[in-house]
Amino acid sequence: MRFINTIAVVAAATLIPIAAAFAQPAGAPPLPYTMKETLLGPLPAATMTNTVREVFAVGSDGPHMAIMMDPGTIVDGKASAAYKGTDRPVFSPDGMHVIFAADRDGQSWLVRDGKETGPYESIDTASEKFSPDGRHVMFVVGHGQRFHVMLDDQPCGDDYDLIYTIEAGMPRFSPDSTRTEFMAHNGKSWFVVVDGKHLVYAGKRDGKALLVLDGKPGETYDRINEDTVKFSPDSQHLQYLALRHEGKMVVVEDGKPGLAWDRIDPASVKFSPDSNHIAYAGRSGAPAGGQEINSVVEDDIAGPAFGGVGSIQFSPDGKHLAYEAEQDGKSFVVVDGRQSQSFDAVAGESVCFTADGQLHFFADRDGSMYRVDYLASR
């Protein structure tokens, strides 16, 4: 499969020569990419009575425009009921459903396609997830000093002191939407909870940290980042982030440590949907008089060095890797090692592959926003 890049211009479509669109190594064959830009117009401005909190959200079928203002949310042109505050919408994989957390009268509600679930004392807005088939939602609610996971409108599992969400990417569904997984903490113990059962827990040996999986202890490290422990989508592989004795960080997959870095972004570590690949963002400190190195690592191979990297995304079949990068004050998206055209800014959260293998993102140039589409041809 190859990608044809089409950047979407309402007023006029402009095809950009391939040499101007992508940076290529000397002697490399021409890429089968065509670029087309669509001008979406100026960003909405805040007013005295409405404060713009966000201007877009992303569903897996492509970008959806969302404007979050008090007192409500407008998603794809449709306004919600009035709330005191609303959070960034989350779209189902097919883009047909949307959820967001909202506050009213001192209570929190989960709004799903306009219908409210609740009320709750609080909702962890980083926890809201759709199942891959779009039929179920999972999110974390708080009551007093305790937390539990909600599956649709029913509690899922026990109450805990803490349930990890942001860095762990939890809670989450299995690819077939039939199983659940999340990480939780009670007292001095923490667990990976799969279908309501404790499967992995942390331990100590000679003052060092280790993981115990199915009763079998792993290698020891100075520290294990608890909220990065996760299984691959097929539940056959286990990865986590660990700190070695010399102060370097490594991603451990199936008990084997990878490349050592000064820092690894915990939120960036992820498996491909087919469970065959793993990628993350690594950083090495700047040598004397040099610059800091930021690279995306795929299967233990470091990619090009940039000023910054993030928003790592695999295609649904696991064969393609894309991420946002910054260098010399400009932003762009890297697809399979090739750079897109530069922009003033790329909206990192908008970078996404759709189910048909197409890549989309929003970008800003000279004060105007563009939607960028990489259309796959076979």
Residue 70 has a pLDDT of 57
How distant is the alpha carbon of residue 85 from its chain centre? 23
| Of 38-52, 188-202, 304-318, the least confident | 38-52
Note whether 331 and 345 are within 8 A (CB): yes
Residue 19 has a pLDDT of 40
Q: Assess whether pLDDT exceeds 90 at residue 296.
A: yes
Residue 138 has a pLDDT of 92
One-letter amino acid of 104:
R
> For a pLDDT cut of 90, what percent of the chain falls above it?
16
Tell me the two tokens of residue 319. 């064969």
> For a pLDDT cut of 70, what percent of the chain falls above it?
72
Residue 56 has a pLDDT of 53
CA distance 327 to 23: 13
Question: Closest by alpha carbon to 350, among 341, 339, 362, 359?
Answer: 362
Residue 20 has a pLDDT of 43
Kindly give, in sequence order, each residue whose CB lies less than 8 Å from that of residue 239, ignoring residues fewer than 6 positions away. Answer: 228, 229, 230, 232, 251, 252, 253, 254, 269, 271, 278
Residue 114, Ramachandran bin (φ over 0: left; ψ between -120 and 50: alpha; else beta) = left
| Of 48-57, 99-108, 153-162, 244-253, the least confident | 48-57
Instruction: DSSP letter for 221, please.
Output: B
Judged by DSSP in three states, 19 sits in helix
CA distance 225 to 228: 6
Q: Assess whether pLDDT exceeds 80 at residue 89.
A: no
Binned at pLDDT 50, 70 and 90, residue 198 comes out as: low
Phi, psi (5° rounding) for residue 52? -75, 120
CA distance 193 to 178: 14
Q: pTM of this prediction?
A: 0.59
Residue 139 has a pLDDT of 92
Residue 146 has a pLDDT of 92
Phi, psi (5° rounding) for residue 155? -65, 145
Q: Assess whether pLDDT exceeds 80 at residue 184.
A: yes
Binned at pLDDT 50, 70 and 90, residue 249 comes out as: very high
Query: What are the Cα distances from residue 222, in Å, to 115, 249, 267, 363?
Result: 47, 10, 20, 41
Mean pLDDT, range 289-314, rounded to an integer = 87
Judged by DSSP in three states, 104 sits in strand
CA distance 352 to 354: 6
Burial bucket for residue 135 (CB in 10 Å: 0-12, 13-18, 19+): exposed
Looking at per-residue confidence, does 321 or 9 come out higher? 321
Phi, psi (5° rounding) for residue 20? -80, -20
Looking at per-residue confidence, does 141 or 211 come out higher? 141
Q: Assess whether pLDDT exceeds 90 at residue 203.
A: no
Residue 35 has a pLDDT of 56
Average pLDDT in the chain:
77
CA distance 100 to 69: 13
Q: Assess whether pLDDT exceeds 90 at residue 37.
A: no
Q: Assess whether pLDDT exceeds 50 at residue 9.
A: no
